[in-house]
Structure formats: structure tokens, C-alpha cells
Amino acid sequence: MKRLAIVLAAGQGKRMKSKLYKVLHPVCGKPMVGHVLDTVNKVGCDRKVVVVGHGAEAVRSYLGTTAEFVLQEQQLGTGHAVKQAKELLGSENGTTVVICGDTPLVTPETLEALFALHEEQGAAVTVLTASMDEPHGYGRVIRDEQGRVKRIVEQKDCSPEENLVKEINTGTYCFDNAKLFDALDKVTNQNAQQEYYLTDCLGILVSQGEKAAAYMTSDGAESIGVNDRVALSQAEAFMRARIVRQHMLNGVTIIDPGATYIGADVEIGADTVIYPGSILSGRTKIGEDCKIGPQTEIDNSIIHDGAAVKHSVLSQAEVGSGTTVGPFAYLRPGAVLGEDVKVGDFVEIKNATLGNGSKVSHLSYIGDAKVGKNVNIGCGAITVNYDGYNKSITEIEDDAFIGSNVNLIAPVKVGKGAYVVAGSTITQSVSDNDLAIARQRQENKAGYADKIRARAKAKKQKQDSENK
């Protein structure tokens, strides 16, 4: 049977009190509607229609070509929203899953179970429900004496008895496609919110003698519908725990799961150890046998097998296998480190490649540079890449040695095996195997220290007596 999906994402999300449209709020670094689309994709839907309204352009541009879109110009309720998909899906035959863009924790496994029950029961509609100790704000699932699902009542329309019901509507359903659109034609807005409720379809179908079923998830987290920032933080916590757990099951050691933050799209290889305070985000990819953290942020970066990164911040960087980074290093976009490289403390690297075996051990800035293999960059050496208007390139070839506290005024090149003496300010390129020295020659003045001291002491005494 054909599987179709309708994702509701047109609401403004007033309760978020945000400039960002609700479904674009990230949970573990990914917009909520992105999580929902991922889930729908994993169960293999033939067509996916996203209903957009508030922030339509932003939602569309985020999702791109991964779905079809339909515009709900006025947000008159969830039933009205689904109805907008009629033109696209009305003539299809199959099972349609309707899911809200603000329920990021629904899993593909649960969706699969919902489909299975729906088909097995031959139901016209099957709703995903959950039992909640504090059901406030959610629609309640009302059953008859035999326990059959009768209808869903919104919180604001509940009688005192209905208010006590703990089984809630998660906002995810399977519908027989044709029956869904038939029922939607009968939905009115005569209710407390004067909205066209999708939930009314259930009661309508039951009153027509159709079968309604319910699948109750045992994972309460799945039912979180994010309407405000409190729920957003709860969703974040559940999602985070889920992601971290999956990495542990995949063979990653996570020393303190509660103090580890891993984005939804991060990949980590087996036998890697993640220390507390690590924040891994974006499309970061970490290999096997790495050591990451403590206190490390890695965003959209690639870390190859056996690398170690501690107390550092990395963004759009690449770290070769066996390479060590930190403590207290900052790798900015375009930093590409080869194998067995060492980047030590208080080193910043931006838009620069470092060849295998090279070392920048302390207190350096390397920006807009090409550094070859087995280069040693001494403590405090920097590339001077910016004149206030232009960025220029520094090239350092294989086996070169850059002494401590060297300034390399770009554009400049240091040839293979060349030697730049400590304290030099290099403005002209250095040829292969040459030695460059660009600093003033030292002069020692015998016994001069005593003279200087005596002069300084006299000055101080004079000042003190004047101030009396």
C-alpha cells in the first residue's frame, strides 16, 4: 500500500515568543521539522507534503527539494492545514501519516508500529497516543466502555471528567487517505478556539461506523509537542540522551553522558573516547580510537582515526590521524592538519594546511598558510597575513625550521629545509636550505647594569623627596 505523509508546519508558534519560526527551532542542532522529515523518510513514504504558512520561505529553503510544499495562508487550525494538501494528495490511494512539525522525538520504529497496527486493524484512522501524568495542553483520547477510541477532545474543550483523562494525542496519525479528505470536509470550527481541528476527523469517522484505533507509545518523550521553551529544553534533553546512548551502543566510550552534547548528524567511530564537556555539532565526523575532550567544541569538522583533541575549539577544520590538538587550540575554518601533526597550547590556525609530522607547539597564529611536512614552528612564531585590506599567503616548505618569535610577513615563502632564526621578522622569501636572520646584532656593554641601576635609583629618590 502506498505511504503518504503530511507534515504540519504552518503555525507561528506564539508561545515560543521568538523571531524564529517554531518548527525551525533546533533540537540537538537540527530544526524540529528536519527531525520529523528524517523520521518520515526512514519509513519510506512515497510522497511527503509539508504544509507551510508562517515562515513559509524559511521552512521551504531549509527543506529544499526533500519534500513537496503547500501553503496555508491563514492558520485556521490543524484540520484546515491538512485540507490544503487535498489538491496534491486528494486522489491518491493509500495510508497517510499526518505528523506535526513540532514533535521531533517521534521515532521511525514507532511510526512503523503505527502503520502496522493501522493495517492489521483495518482502521480508517489510527492515532499515536501516550499516557501522561501531566496531560495539560494536549488533546485527550476518549474511549467508550469497551475501550474503543471514540474521539479526541482538545484541552480547551474538555469537560471536567475529560480533563482527568491521561491518555493524550501525540498529534501523529495514520489515515486512510480518501477517508481523511472526506472527513475533513465535515469538520467545523465550532469549538473553544474556533479552529478547524484535525482531531475532529476521528470522531467523524467513528460516527460513520469506521474503525478508529490507537497505538500507545511507551516512550513518553515521543509525545513531546514543543509549544514553548520549556518543552524545547525537555525535547533537547531527551534527544540528547537518545543520541548519546546510540553512540555508546555503537562502541563509543562516553565518560559522562550528562555532560556530553552531540548533534543529531554527528558520526563517531568505535573505540573513540569522549570526555566531559565535549560539544560536537553540525556534520562533524570523528574516526575510530580518537580522544575528544574534555571541554572541547567541534563543529562541522573531520577528525581522523587516532587523533586527540583536548580543551580546544574547532570549526570547519580537519585533523589527520594520529594528530594531537590542544590544550587550548583554536582551529578555524580551513585549518587542515595532516597526520601526526602537533598543534599545542594557545595556537590559532585559520585557512592553513599543515603537512604530516609538522609541529606548532605553542603560542602561534598560522593564517592563510601552506605548511609542508616535518616543519617545526617555534614558540610565538606567527604569520602576518593581513595589512588591513588584503590577506596574503605564507608558504613554508618541507623540513623548514621556523625559530621562536618569528614574524613571517606575507606574502612570503620559506624554502625546503631552510632555517629562520628566532626573533626574525621575515619580509623576503628564503631559498631552500638557506639560513635567514633578520634581527639586530647583540651588543654587550661591560658593567653597564650598575650604572643604569644607580641612575634609576637617583631618579626615584628625587621624585619621592619632591612629593613629601
Residue numbers at the binding site for ligand UD1 (CB under 6 A): 8-11, 23, 51, 53, 72, 75-78, 80-81, 100-103, 138-139, 152, 154, 168-171, 197-199, 225, 227
Q: Which stretch binds Ca ion (CB under 5 A): 57-65, 101-109, 238-246, 344-352?
A: 101-109
- Distance in Å from the first CA to the final CA of the chain: 100
Q: Which residues pair with 69 in a beta bridge?
A: 50
CB 381 within 8 A of CB 355: no
The answer to whether 357 and 340 are in contact (CB under 8 A) is yes
The yes or no reply on residue 102 touching Ca ion (CB under 5 A) is yes
Look at residues 10, 7, 133, 29 and name the one whose alpha carbon lies nearest to residue 72: 10
Nearer to ligand UD1, 22 or 342 (CB): 22
Choices 177-185, 202-210, 227-235, 292-300 (CB under 5 A): range interacting with Ca ion: 227-235
Residue 405 binds which entry of ligand UD1, Ca ion, none, CB below 5-8 Å type-dependent:
none
In degrees to the nearest 10, what's the CA dihedral of 55, 60, 62, 67?
140
CA separation for the pair 314, 329 (Å, rounded): 8
Closest to Ca ion by CB, 131 vs 227, is 227
- C-alpha to C-alpha distance for 83 and 332, rounded to whole angstroms: 48
Q: Does residue 135 interact with Ca ion by CB under 5 A?
A: no
Q: How far is the CB of 39 from Ca ion (least distance, A)?
A: 16
Closest Cα to residue 406, out of 392, 416, 418, 398?
418
Q: Is 195 in the site for Ca ion (CB under 5 A)?
A: no
How are beta strands 425-426 and 407-409 bridged, if at all? Answer: parallel
CB of 179 to ligand UD1, least distance (A): 17
Nearer to Ca ion, 101 or 355 (CB): 101
Interface with Ca ion, residue 225, by CB under 5 A:
yes
CB of 120 vs ligand UD1, minimal distance in Å: 24
In terms of CB distance, is 196 or 275 closer to ligand UD1?
A: 196
Residue 202 or 369: the one with the smaller Cβ distance to ligand UD1 is 202
Q: Which residues contact 360 (CB under 8 A, 6 or more apart)?
A: 342, 343, 344, 347, 349, 354, 366, 377, 381
Cell triple for 175 = 489515515
Please, which residue, 8 or 402, has the CB nearer to Ca ion? Answer: 8
- Cβ closest to ligand UD1, residue 173 vs residue 261: 173
Here the cell at position 267 is: 558520526
C-alpha 369/C-alpha 408 separation (Å) is 10
Query: What is residue 175's DSSP assignment?
Result: E
- Minimum CB–partner distance for residue 237 and ligand UD1 (Å): 17
Which option in ligand UD1, Ca ion, none does residue 203 bind, with CB closer than 5 to 8 A by kind?
none
Tell me, by CB under 5 A, how many residues bind Ca ion.
Answer: 3
Q: Which neighbouring-strand residues pair with 213?
A: 126
Which among ligand UD1, Ca ion, none contacts residue 263 (Cβ within 5 to 8 A by kind)? none
Gap between the Cα atoms of 35 and 41, Å rounded: 10
For the bound state, the minimum distance from the C-beta of residue 185 to Ca ion, rounded and expressed in Å, comes to 24
Does 54 qualify as catalytic in the annotation?
A: no
CA distances from 174 to 97, 183, 225 (A): 4, 14, 18
**Where are the strands (E) in 191-277, listed by range?**
212-216, 253-254, 260-262, 267-268, 273-274
Q: d(Cα 419, Cα 427) in Å, to the nearest integer?
A: 14
Strand 285-286 and strand 267-268: pairing? parallel
Contact call for residue 104 and Ca ion (CB under 5 A):
no
Q: In the complex with Ca ion, which residue's Cβ is closer, 165 or 266?
A: 165
CB of 127 to Ca ion, least distance (A): 15
Contact segment (CB under 5 A) with Ca ion among 51-59, 95-103, 203-211, 269-277 equals 95-103
Among the residue ranges 15-23, 51-59, 217-225, 388-396, the one whose residues contact Ca ion (CB under 5 A) = 217-225
Q: Which one, 76 or 371, has the nearer CB to ligand UD1?
A: 76
Q: Counting contacts by CB under 5 A, is residue 77 touching Ca ion?
A: no
Minimum distance of ligand UD1 from residue 300's CB (angstroms): 28
80 binds, among Ca ion, ligand UD1, none (CB under 5 to 8 A by kind): ligand UD1
- As measured in angstroms, the least distance from the Cβ of 3 to ligand UD1 is 20
**Counting Cβ atoms within 10 Å, is residue 248 exposed (0-12), middle (13-18) or buried (19+)?**
middle
Q: What is the 3-state secondary structure (H, E, C) of 196-207?
A: CCCCHHHHHHHH
Q: Is 318 in the site for Ca ion (CB under 5 A)?
A: no
Minimal CB distance residue for Ca ion: 225
Cis peptide before 294 (omega within 30 of 0): yes
Task: Please pick, among 25, 54, 247, 362, the residue that the annotation labels catalytic.
Answer: 362
Which does residue 383 touch among Ca ion, ligand UD1, none (CB within 5 to 8 A, set by kind)?
none
Bridge-based pairing state of the strands 167-176 and 125-131: antiparallel
Q: How far is the CB of 108 from ligand UD1 (least distance, A)?
A: 18
Q: What are phi and psi of 291, to 5 degrees?
A: -120, 120
Catalytic residues: 362
Q: State the residues that interact with Ca ion by CB under 5 A.
A: 102, 225, 227
